[in-house]
Amino acid sequence: MKKIAVIGTGLSALSLAYHLPTLDITFFEKSWRPGGRISTRRHENYIFDHGAHYLKEDNGIIGFNEFLHKINATKILNGEFCANIQNQLPIEKKQIIVGQNGMESIPLEFHKYLRYPTNLSTQINKIETINQEYYLHTEDQEYGPFDFIFCCIPFEQSKNLLNKFIDFDVLSVPNFDSIWTIMVALDKRLGSPFQFGYHMTPEISFLMNQNFKHEFFSDECWVVNMRAEWTKEYYNIENYVLEDYVIDQLKKTFQSDAKAVFKKSHRWKYAYAKKSLNELDSKNFIESIDHRLYALGDWCHGPSMQDAWLSGKKLAKHFSELRVQL
């Protein structure tokens, strides 16, 4: 059986492995846990979904929500939603899908379902080939040989690993937005009439209450996303300055005297695929001439979880058809 290395354990990698026929697959993940940017931060009794926030109940991708429900990774919530807080648009009821125990439940349960061996905390920094077989290298260890390698990681990281084997100069570069995300716990309720919404201020694009998702902590917890344009301008802002600014904006907006009992911020460098590879070059993935090395990710189709699922599914279909032809 052919040996396959999958670098990364984000949703595109998991989708690829799920849609491929049964093969000898090994995952390699630089983090201590699977999931990529679908991330949940835990601090004492607090839980913050500070990567992906939720899924729409109807996302237009056949089979995705159904699969997540089948593996008990998700649950359905009803929340109060405001499409534009600054312009005081009417609050509406909205049904969403979230992780059973934080959004990280989605990749964690998915990964557990696949049951493929995984090397966590393993940063691959070089790929070499000997006699048409491929080897992966960390700073002090070699893995292989492998017949095929799939890099399911951000575009720039894939390029660094694969530029000896693929001519990236003939490809367009996907365009990414970075996003600052702030996590805040307050000692009393803000008094917000909604649980989540967009466009709170010219600087803040989205915020979501975490209590109605997780329900078991007494302090009020929020996750706030800054606008991409603002993040670009203030990319190197000090974390504590940003956190204090956001807390002040929350208190002003809701006319609250609540005090922050926890604050944390995280900058997502590749948060949003503004222009995908498919939009730029009409490609669903990148492959080497010998059809043995591949690069893919949500950046192939778009910024959402369903785009990552679709990326893995399309490459798995291509790879399966190619193996039949070979």
Q: The domain spanning residue 45 has which CATH number?
A: 3.50.50.60
Question: What domain range includes position 159?
Answer: 3-325
List per-residue pLDDT tens for the chain, 326 residues long.
Answer: 789 999 999 999 999 999 998 789 999 999 999 998 899 998 888 999 999 999 988 766 778 999 999 999 999 999 999 999 999 999 999 999 999 999 999 999 999 999 999 999 999 999 999 988 999 999 999 999 999 999 999 999 999 999 999 999 999 999 899 999 999 999 999 999 999 999 999 999 999 999 988 876 678 999 999 999 999 999 999 999 999 999 999 999 999 999 999 999 999 998 888 899 999 999 999 999 999 999 999 899 888 889 999 999 999 999 988 864 44
d(CA 109, CA 254): 37
The Cα angle at residue 175 between residues 169 and 179, in degrees rounded to 5:
140
3-class DSSP state for residue 273?
A: strand
CB atoms within 10 A of CB 183: 23
**Contact predicate 136/28, CB 8 Å:** yes
Total count of domains within the chain: 1
DSSP of 25-92: EEEE-SSSSS-TT--EEEETTEEEE-S---EES--S-TTHHHHHHHTT-EEEEEEEEES-TTTTPPPE
3-class DSSP state for residue 276?
A: coil
Q: What is the DSSP letter of 174?
A: P
d(CA 76, CA 97): 5
3-class DSSP state for residue 256?
A: coil
